[in-house]
Amino acid sequence: MATTTAAITLTSADLLTDALSLSATNTLYKAGTTVGLDQTTGMARAFLTATTVVDIFPQLIEGSIAFENKSSWVYICNKSEDETEFFTVKICENVIGKLYAGDFLWMPWSMRESVNANNHHGDITVAPSVDTGMAIEFTCINEGTEYPTENLVTS
Amino acid sequence: MATTTATITLSSSDLLSDELALSTTATLTTAGTSTGVTQASGLSRKTTSAASAAAIQANVLYRAGDYTANGANKVYIKNTSVIASEFYTVTIDQEEIGRLYAGDWMFTPWNATSGTKQVFTVTIAGDWLAGETWTFDGITATSADATEANFAALIHTLNYPNWTTTYGGSGVAVVFTARYASDATEVVYATADATLVTTDGTAVISAAAVGSASESDITIRPSVHTAMTYETMLIHQ
C-alpha cells in the first residue's frame, strides 16, 4: 500500500498575544482502516477564461455513487497572483468559501448526494471571479474513482 | 497588521511512479487585499459524547451569522481520535463535505453566508403601572413607574438569550432582532411567548418579519457516542 501524508503548519507571531505555531500531519487511509490510499486523479492545472461554474471532478457519475462515504481528499489552490481574484468553491451548489490568490484548501470529500435533491451528487465546483484568465490546481487522492462509460452517439 | 501563514505539504514516495512532494504556503489576508487577517477564535478542543448511539447530536462549530459574510475566513478542524474507525462528519448547511477519521484534519475557506434574522417591534402603550411586568424569552421586565417610555427603555436594557434589542433613545417602541438566522414559525413563537401582567397596559407586537435559515453554518457529528475529541480554529476577518 502507498503511504501518503498531508501536513499543515499554521504560524503567526502577531495574530495573537501568544505565538501561533500549529502543526498537524495525517496519513491518508481508506475509510475506517489503516490501509493507505492508493489512487489519485493526479494534479491538474487549468487556466480558466470564463466565470462559468466548473465541475472539477466530472468523473463522479450522477446516479452511480460507487465511492460515496469512502475516503477522498481534495486539494485546490488558486494560483492567481492578483489579490482581488478568487475562485468560489461549492459543494452540492452550496458555497464553501472563496479561495483568493495563493489560497488553498484541503478537505475530505464524502461524495454524498445533495440533501436538496438537486441532482448534484456531491459535485465540487469552482467559479473564477473574472474572465481574464485564472490558474487553478487541484487533485483528489482517494480510494477509487468511477469513470464514465463510453459516450455512445446514436443517430 | 498580523502576518499569518498556512503551509500544506503533501508527500508520498509510492502513491505514484513519480514522487509526490507538494508544498504550498498561503499568507492569510482579508478578502481581495494584501492586508493580513487579524481575528481568530483561538484553537479550541472539545470532547463529544452521548448516552447512546441514538442520542448522538451534531455540534455547531461556527454560526455564519457571527462572522463576516464573504470574508476570507479559514476553518481548521482536526479529529484527534486514535481509533481508525471513528470519524466526524463535517457538514455545511446540511450538505456533507466529508468525514474526518482519526488524525485527519481539514483546512478550508469559509464563506459564512448567513440567512436573515427575524425581527419584530413591541410597542408599550396603554396605562402601565409600577410593578407590572412584560415577560419575553424568559426575561421579565418590571415597570418602575407609570411612564411607558421609561418602561420601553428598561425593556431595551435587559439581556435576552435569543434576541438583541434596538431602542431609539425615546418613545415606546423596542425592536427585537433574533440572534441567529432561522426560517419560519418563530414569529408565531415570539408573539405567543410574550406575557403581560398588567391591568390596562398593552405591548403590541408588530412589524414582525420571518427570517431565513443560515446557508453555511458548519456542524460536525461524531460517529460514536463514546468520547471523541476534536480541535478547531477559525481565522477570520
Asked whether residue B205 is assigned to any structural domain, the reply reads yes
pLDDT at A63 over 90: no
The answer on B74 and B95 residing in a single domain is: yes
pLDDT in tens, B133-160: 999 989 999 999 999 999 999 999 999 9
Asked whether residue B202 is assigned to any structural domain, the reply reads yes
From chain A, pick out residues whose CB is under 8 angstroms from the CB of B224: none
Confidence of residue A64 (pLDDT cuts 50, 70, 90): low
pLDDT at A153 over 80: no
Asked whether residue B7 is assigned to any structural domain, the reply reads no
User: Least CB-CB distance to B105: which of A20, A26, A43?
Assistant: A26
pLDDT at A2 over 80: yes
The answer on B148 and B93 residing in a single domain is: no
CATH architecture of structural domain A38-142: Sandwich (2.60)
Cβ atoms of B137 and B180 closer than 8 Å? no
The answer on B204 and B129 residing in a single domain is: yes
User: Least CB-CB distance to B101: which of A2, A32, A99?
Assistant: A32
Choose, out of B37, B107, B113, B236, the residue to mutate when testing the contact with A (most A CBs < 10 Å).
B107
From chain B, pick out residues whose CB is under 8 angstroms from the CB of A27: 103
| Nearest residue to B30 via CA among A131, A103, A123 | A103
pLDDT at B85 over 90: yes
| Nearest residue to A106 via CA among B25, B27, B105 | B105
The answer on B220 and B110 residing in a single domain is: yes
Lowest mean pLDDT among A99-113, A137-151, B150-164: A137-151
Asked whether residue B34 is assigned to any structural domain, the reply reads no
- Mean of pLDDT values over B195-218: 86
- Mean of pLDDT values over A34-56: 94
For residue B72, give its domain range. Answer: 40-114+215-236
Confidence of residue B192 (pLDDT cuts 50, 70, 90): low
The answer on B199 and B160 residing in a single domain is: yes
Cβ distance B8 to A22 less than 8 Å, yes or no, reads no
The answer on B109 and B191 residing in a single domain is: no
The answer on B145 and B95 residing in a single domain is: no
Q: Is the dihedral of CA B50, B51, B57, B62 positive or negative?
A: negative
The answer on B129 and B82 residing in a single domain is: no
- CB-based contact (8 Å) between B199 and chain A? no
Confidence of residue A60 (pLDDT cuts 50, 70, 90): low
Q: Kindly provide the ipTM of the predicted complex, given to two decimals.
A: 0.92
The answer on B110 and B131 residing in a single domain is: no
- Mean of pLDDT values over B29-49: 94
The rounded distance, in Å, linking the Cα atoms of B66 and B103 is 28
Cβ distance A10 to B16 less than 8 Å, yes or no, reads no
User: Least CB-CB distance to A11: which of B5, B14, B74?
Assistant: B5
Asked whether residue B5 is assigned to any structural domain, the reply reads no
The answer on B58 and B90 residing in a single domain is: yes
Asked whether residue B93 is assigned to any structural domain, the reply reads yes
For residue A80, give the DSSP letter: -
Cβ distance B3 to A112 less than 8 Å, yes or no, reads no
pLDDT at A59 over 80: no
Cβ distance A100 to B32 less than 8 Å, yes or no, reads yes
Question: How close does chain A come to B31, measured CA to CA in Å?
Answer: 7
**Which cell goes with A60?**
463522479
pTM (two decimals): 0.89
The answer on B100 and B126 residing in a single domain is: no
A143 or B88, which is more confident = B88
What CATH number is given to the structural domain containing B93?
2.60.120.10
Cβ distance B38 to A75 less than 8 Å, yes or no, reads no
Domain count, chain B: 2
- Mean of pLDDT values over A3-10: 96
The confidence score (pLDDT) of residue A120 equals 62
Asked whether residue B4 is assigned to any structural domain, the reply reads no
Question: In DSSP terms, which residues pair with B14 in a beta bridge?
Answer: none
Asked whether residue B23 is assigned to any structural domain, the reply reads no
pLDDT at A146 over 90: no
**What is the side-by-side order of every strand in the sheet holding A94-100?**
A54-55, A124-128, A86-91, A94-100
pLDDT at A34 over 70: yes
Cβ distance B73 to A97 less than 8 Å, yes or no, reads yes
For residue B193, give the DSSP letter: H
The b/e string for A26-49 (b: 16+ C-beta within 10 A; e otherwise) is bebbbbbeeebbbbbbeeeeeebe
